[in-house]
Amino acid sequence: MGTRLRLQDGYIDLERCCVVRAGIGEVSLTPTEHRLITYLAKRVGQAVGIEELAREVWGYAPGVRSRAPYVAIQRLRTKIERSPGAPTCLVSVHGTGYRLDLVESAGPGPADRSTGPTAFVGRSSDEEALAGAWAAGHRLVVLRGPAGIGKTRLMQEHLRAGAPGL
């Protein structure tokens, strides 16, 4: 099991105890939510009974009945699901308990360049505009655009190329 679990629109970072989702940003997990998601992540795709969760995550004795697991599942769903009322990731299994279904195991995060960058092509006009703004003496340049379009990568390549004016 990796430290990141991929969701439809983000990931759960088990190491940093948070959920990162597009359009929402980073949301912290409580210690209980972290124990719960870690326990379920070790059993991805398997139905886990509510009694097992109460025993293993909360440390309750066998036979103890509590609403705590149900409440924690609801809170966790609001953090990891696009639509908590119609969950696709942390799903109920009728008569059993809950199952964690992930998109796939997440690899390195977007800022992790340990595998090396891919070719940077097709952005020559953007590169020229950025270099031109610096050359014209502008000391504040804002890169704007929708998420995932490559604003960060454009600036990284500009800096890597020597970034005139910086």
Please write the tens of the pLDDT for every residue from 141-158: 888 888 888 888 887 777
Higher pLDDT, 114 or 160: 160
Instruction: Report H helices in the chain.
Output: 31-41, 50-56, 68-80, 124-135, 151-160
For residue 81, the one-letter residue type is E
State the CB neighbour count (10 A cutoff) for residue 88: 13
With the C-alpha atoms ordered 111, 117, 121, 124, is the resulting torsion angle positive or negative?
Answer: positive
Higher pLDDT, 140 or 56: 56
pLDDT in tens, 43-64: 999 999 999 999 999 999 998 9
pLDDT reported for residue 157: 79
Domains and CATH numbers, the chain: 4-100 (1.10.10.10), 124-160 (no CATH)
